[in-house]
C-alpha cells in the first residue's frame, strides 16, 4: 500500500454506503490505498456529525464527498496525491 487512507463513514443498512464501498473498491485497482470503514452508529460524536450526510468519504483526513460519491473527484484526488 502507498500509505494513503480513504475513510468511509457509514452505517448498516445504508444502500448509498454500499454503493460508495463498491466505488472505492473499483478505484483501488487504479490507485492503491487503504479503506477504513467507520460505523457512525458505534460513536455518538460521529453519529451527530455524519447522520444526515452518509456516506462521507475522506482521503487522509480531508473530506471529499458526502451523500453521493463522486468517482471522478476521488480518482483525481487519489492520482494527484500519488504523483
Q: What is the pLDDT of residues 24-65, one digit of tens each?
A: 999 998 888 999 999 999 999 999 999 999 999 999 889 999
Quote the pLDDT of residue 31.
83
Q: List, in sequence order, every residue forming a beta bridge with 6; answer none if it has no partner.
A: 35, 59
Cβ-proximal residues to 69 (8 Å cutoff; 6+ apart), any chain: 19, 20, 23, 24, 55, 57
Quote the pLDDT of residue 2.
56
Which CATH number, 3.20.20.80, 1.25.10.10, 3.40.50.261, 3.40.30.10, labels domain 5-82?
Answer: 3.40.30.10
Asked whether 72 and 31 are in contact (CB, 8 A), the reply is: no
Our CA angle for 16, 45, 38, nearest 5°, is: 40
Q: What is the dihedral of CA 83, 21, 52, 57, to 10 degrees?
A: -10
Amino acid at each position: 500500500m502507498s500509505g494513503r487512507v480513504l475513510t468511509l463513514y457509514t452505517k448498516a443498512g445504508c444502500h448509498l454506503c454500499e454503493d460508495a464501498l463498491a466505488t472505492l473498491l473499483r478505484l483501488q485497482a487504479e490507485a492503491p490505498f487503504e479503506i477504513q470503514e467507520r460505523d457512525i452508529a458505534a460513536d455518538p460524536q460521529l453519529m451527530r456529525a455524519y447522520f444526515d450526510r452518509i456516506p462521507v468519504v475522506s482521503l487522509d483526513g480531508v473530506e471529499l464527498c458526502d451523500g453521493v460519491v463522486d468517482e471522478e473527484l476521488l480518482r483525481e484526488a487519489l492520482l494527484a496525491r500519488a504523483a
